Amino acid sequence: MANAKTATLSFRIKPELKEALRVAADQEHRSIANMIEVTILQYCRQNAVAIVDERTPSAERPKK
């Protein structure tokens, strides 16, 4: 699978949550960005949230 372009995301969180994220990322040998990505993917899988690949033709995408 070819890597798609990434999108920039900017948000604010409490300092203690940022530190917990940093610790979790270090424990998993991941960057903070990758830890967030993995966490979101895991949440989506566990909660049946579809992740639509923008390169997928619209006729093949799940209906909203």
63 SS3 class: coil
pLDDT score recorded for residue 18: 97
Per residue in 12-35, pLDDT (tens digit) is 999 999 999 999 999 999 999 999
Q: Domain spans of the chain?
A: 15-50
Query: What secondary structure does DSSP assign to 22-56, as a single string?
Result: HHHHHHTT--HHHHHHHHHHHHHHHTT-----TTS
How far is C-alpha 44 from the geometric centre of its chain's CA atoms? 9
pLDDT score recorded for residue 1: 46
pLDDT score recorded for residue 53: 81
pLDDT score recorded for residue 60: 58
Q: How many CB atoms lie within 10 A of CB 38?
A: 14
Q: What is this structure's pTM? A: 0.72
